[in-house]
Structure 1
């Protein structure tokens, strides 16, 4: 069980770190950009929320499989497929958890307000300096919310993980898959214990997120 917990935590942690890095420029553009392209990209980013996990997992399985054109560059390096590997799980996690990182960051950047950026510009700050010294510090609570949501969602996902990773012990078997196997084996006691632990974890994660959002709302009212 310790190996499964470690693998799950590693997947969720790595996904969270990578998504915070990848989602930052995307969320900034979605918050500041204009035009139809922004709405189209925003819809694509949010698509994993509405799609059945098995649909997303199916196309990820095809895209990372040995017959996919996407794998051609890697096959030249000796990597035949990323399906049913930990790397494949990470890629799948990045896709299906993307909206849970982008949306909180987008909201946080929107809350920064144009006025603060205009003040920084009048003081001679470049666009990059205004982003790093003004926008990022003000959006920091949004990063905590995004990290909590991404980490928790990655831990709880089942359908995509099963489709793209299977259930290989020590390689792709995470907690959500382990619970399924416990139920199949009629090991109700262990299934109850792990499920209850995940319920407690989920409650704590949601509570922390709500407290952060309340703090953000108070800060916004005090600045108004």
Structure 2
């Protein structure tokens, strides 16, 4: 996969571009414009999900960019209403169809269902079968705590390549990061710029994380932008 972006080696023998564009809460038309712009700027990793309802927009953005399929790392997620062995395999068919591809680079479970972990395990077995069939290049999970990982790994045949969790300076999740590392799982951050709204705190204390004095002091000291500091 040709790219100038730094990459991360995953435990499935796949390399993943380290910096990705997430399209959570983006409308399909906005998604297409954002993906096209990101890819023309140099991004090579797009992260979406069935529950975002914009996989078609990702496909259109990639088409407009003019890049070959092999130059873009496509990641998407299975939502909980498609959990179960057969249902999860069908979820792949739906997502692959919306993206207009035969193979997805990374397919994850969007979140565990603690009260129906048997269904979560069946869904993960579906992912394992898709990996064995060559329909996905890597599989993973999202929003799994260390306890969820322990329950999964007690039954799984394949260790997840990634665990996508909320990680940023306001919410470090050190136990989760340590658990992922101990199992050889790559920790993938969502909302790395400080949370979904970019505004920690409540009431009159709410402000953009990019206006945080400490973040700005660090940025000034290193000649970087606040966003670059948050990502680093």
Structure having the larger proportion of residues in helix: 1
The two structures have a TM-score, normalised by structure 1, of: 0.28
The two structures have a TM-score, normalised by structure 2, of: 0.27
Structure having the larger proportion of residues in strand: 2
Which structure would you say has the larger Rg? 1
